Structure 1
């Protein structure tokens, strides 16, 4: 009888440990990566890159902390306590949603109430270095992210010329990039001024010098490619241009 009880207890313990392991497993495939160098935010869900958004970060490099953090709270229409502005008010600089990040260490132990990804009432600041440390998004974008990002997922903040594909591989997030026609694919939208591994992939596909910098030669080649495929000739490598580049 004692042996049966012990075996039963061990079985329950094994199931409990198995269930405890699931959230950590899920967290490996869901993450937010923010690159201050390009002022872009990438969201990974179920191991796949879902979307890349433009953001605004700190006015100086030191204002927005870098490292691995965690999303610890989510608030709809958070009030702006500093100026006593209620949530939902057009004057509120925090916009429609707040996703709080716990930032430990030299930045002080917070509960996601100091640093966060949030909306804005100043849409013209997106894409620039304008905040006091938080990451700003267009309200429509932060609402999209708020509805999908779960609490406790990792948030990686860095400043680099590496692509999101390379960063995801470095951090162990998501699935490995696929190879099409001998080249890695990429998911970011590339434009004049973009830099990194994804630009090199693009340049190799266009059979031009792969220096990783989207300059005049790359812009000209992209426009020529778009024209040859009957696409909008804007020099921006978005979903339609990427699809044409990697179609067989």
Structure 2
């Protein structure tokens, strides 16, 4: 009797699980040569499983409207939401965050504290008004430094065809325990030079946006390499800051 494809796959999966369960049980006593080969195979398998889990969790996560839903101007020729707000990270949180700590593949946390009393955590969005499945929370206690920033690396697609007639827009949903100033600094590397534009976020509501007009830069359009954004938090001591969503888009400036 022939097994159906689903039954065959189920049997194969059970066999693979039994194999790795047995390998885990006997790992402490396995010969080093065999253990080395198994470790390499396990690492390759884990890489694919992590990628599958990232995509699956992102698609199955609430909000049910989908991780890719975002509000952008209709004339946008590029839009993007960083992975922290799209899908679950391998590490959901970090305590006593040190300077230059990476959180996921696209974000880095910078500060100059002597003693770190800063924690970051990815949290689950579940409100009906949330478009992104996840958010980012920063818990800041005693803060003896002079700056705190979260740097987001924008993908290569953001600079493909980039011109000085473009406007880069950043939309965010931000909550905090007590008022503070937040600045966004767009950095554009072109050849040996880096142009910067700084905007203060208008924190008069939970839905905010800022625009960076590239006409005010000296950007060499033929040598643009990459872009990144610094989110700079002024005097963040004893505060809980939640960035519920963060998206970027690019629009050509209207010609008159």
TM-score, normalised relative to structure 2? 0.25
Higher relative contact order (CA 8 A, sep 6+): 2
Larger fraction in strand:
2
Larger Rg: 2
TM-score, normalised relative to structure 1? 0.26
Larger fraction in helix:
1
